[in-house]
Amino acid sequence: MRQFSRRGVELHVVGRGRMEADSAAGFLMAGVEGLMAEHYRPLIGEKTRDALARLKGQGRRVSRHAPYGCRLASDGLHVEPQPQEQAALAWLRALAPGRSLRALAAALAARGILARNGRPFAPMTLARLVTAGPCGQSDRARLPLMDTARMNG
């Protein structure tokens, strides 16, 4: 900051104007405000992550899209199973053991089961779908439904 000051660069703070950083006290204040701003950014991330986890724990929706296999409930806050997509997920999970993700994507496309965007499922999307619990809830305690060594084969 001192090098900027020597070159005539001034620091202006929105709503307060020019910040004096030439004196020892001004330099200290600029440093403290910089540290506070640096601290504030991860703090916002922590608060956001905690709030989303709390909503998810209450069974409330945390995005504007319902996970595959679900649809928005009439209250607009919760999700409920979507029968056609649930049937596709059941077929996917029955087909998954021993097959690669790419083979699963091809098999689904051959049956006319496509992602919501109208294209075949991406392999990594299928990896999440075969390990997800009901309506997209993470179910990491379950045993894998497929050979993870062959995931990209």
Q: State pLDDT tens for residues 99-133.
A: 899 999 999 999 999 999 999 999 999 998 888 77
Does the structure show a pLDDT above 50 at 150?
A: no
Domain that holds residue 22: 2-57
Does the structure show a pLDDT above 80 at 80?
A: yes
Pair (22, 82) in one structural domain: no
What is the model's pLDDT at position 9? Answer: 82
User: Per residue in 84-104, pLDDT tens?
Assistant: 999 999 888 888 888 899 999
- Average pLDDT over the chain reads 82
pTM above 0.75, yes or no: no
Does the structure show a pLDDT above 60 at 142?
A: no
Contact 96, 130 (CB under 8 A): yes
Which run of H or of E encompasses 98? none
Pair (43, 74) in one structural domain: no
Pair (50, 88) in one structural domain: no
Pair (20, 77) in one structural domain: no
Q: DSSP readout, 15-38? A: TTEEE--SSHHHHHHHHHHHHHHH
Q: Which residue has the tokens 């004196």?
A: 23
Confidence of residue 137 (pLDDT cuts 50, 70, 90): low
Pair (51, 77) in one structural domain: no
Q: DSSP readout, 109-126? A: HHTT---TTSSPPPHHHH
User: Per residue in 47-73, pLDDT tens?
Assistant: 999 999 998 888 777 788 888 888 888
78-87 contacts at long range (C-beta below 8 A, 24 or more positions apart):
79/135, 79/136, 80/135, 81/134, 81/135
Average pLDDT over residues 3-21: 80
What are 80's two structure tokens?
């409920």
Number of structural domains found in the chain: 2
What are 35's two structure tokens?
């540290």
